[in-house]
Structure 1
């Protein structure tokens, strides 16, 4: 028996294709994909609309994309704007622009320099966020969480439009937590640093709590 050879897809200009299983997908221009698609790699430069889930080994996007379903992969690189009606799951997620995920976001490493709105849980072993625009998640969990304000925060309009250049979450929980320009109801961790521009309701820590700059903490409890 011979293994079935996967086909490649290349769309230049404007075009469409049905879903399926492929080797490489290359899009330069405007494309529609009807149905779920699985591919070893996908590179898009332009605008794409997918009416189904994507399962991609290496997903790289420059431009805009809408995915009506989940996006799962090994490595996801976003330069531009990505809107997902489901959840985003990958080993590594890099955001350089705007991410809107209506489900959850899970990774080993989440690296964002831009803005995002994750309607569910953002969970990654390593979370590194630079706030170029408004960043929102219902909850954030991980081993090491670091949130810093970008020096280029004034460029937020390029990504998210009007809004504070800050991170907002109901709960942030990790072993090592360092926060700047963050508004949260509860922050919980072993080693916690609440830095400049933070407005925190309750901090629960087990080993160390540091406060810097104009940070505001309503209550703190050692657990």
Structure 2
């Protein structure tokens, strides 16, 4: 896309602006954008609301961001509480906080810590998640998937304030598929992969693996089957 002739947009303090096409958008404070934003770079700190958002190269959020539509970014750096009322798509995502996606979530590469709740499928190439809250999706599909329990980290107070009292730092999905799967504290009906490592705290109905299966003594797998690759 051509971006060199686009204007910049900057708001500091309390303010609002119209949606549109911009080169660089910078929001500081309590900001509202009425409509969709299509830009090259988007940076927000504080509390920001947008109609929908496409940041072709870089999206950086520190604070609270609410998108009333889809969110798309090249490189997404998310810190705090992010709500996407639609699908989320990013080439690279780093996350430290709580992200809620009311649609599918498509990530090529992702390193996340905190809580991630997806109404649809979570898909990608390389997905790594350190649980300080729930990871929930209808299904998860990746080339390499790593889910680890991070213990009681600094994000717990934030997540405790945002979720019901009965939440658990646990991954839940009906189906999980990846070439390489490493799981901790995960509940699923089916886990399928070439190399599958079922770690501590997992409760899996069925595991289908091609070459290798390792199950922790403190994990439960009700059915396991080696299949052809």
TM-score (norm 2): 0.92
- Cα distance per residue 1:129-169 (max 9 Å; x no partner): 10011111111111111010003358424125331111111
Partner of residue 184, structure 1 = 188
> Which has the larger strand fraction?
1
Task: Give 3-state SS (helix, strand or coil) of 1:158's partner.
Answer: helix
Structure 1 runs, 4 residues or longer, greater than 4 Å off: none
Match of 2:101 in 1: 101
Native 8 Å contact 1:156 1:165 kept in 2:
no
Q: Report the Cα distance in structure 1 between the residues aligned to 2:194 and 2:171, rounded to whole angstroms.
A: 20
**Residues 98-146 of structure 1: per-residue CA shift (max 9 Å, x gap):** 0000111112102110001011111110010100111111111111110
Count of residue pairs brought into register by the alignment: 220
CA distance, structure 1, for counterparts of residue 155 and residue 168 of structure 2 = 12
Unaligned runs of 5+ residues in structure 1 are none
Alpha-carbon distance change, 40 to 103 in structure 1, aligned in 2, over 3 angstroms: same
Aligned-partner Cα distance in 1 for 2:206–2:96: 31
Please give the residue correspondences for 1:65-84 in structure 2 after superposition, counting only pairs within 5 Å: 65-84=65-84
- What is the root-mean-square deviation of aligned Cα atoms in Å? 1.4
Residues 47 and 155 of structure 1: CA distance in aligned 2, closer, same or farther (over 3 Å): closer
CA distance in 1, matches of 2:43, 2:183: 33
Contact 1:133 1:153 in 2 (8 A): no
Structure 2 runs not aligned, ≥5 long: none
Task: Kindly indicate whether the alpha-carbon contact (under 8 Å) linking 2:65 and 2:83 is maintained by their aligned counterparts in 1.
Answer: yes
Partner of 1:175: 179
Name the TM-score, length of structure 1 as normaliser.
Answer: 0.95
My pick for the range that moved more, 172-181 or 147-156, is: 147-156
For 1:219 and 1:117, the matched residues in 2 are separated by 27
Mark the CA change 1:4 to 1:94 in structure 2 (over 3 Å): closer, same or farther.
closer
Contact 1:145-1:176 at 8 Å conserved across structures: yes
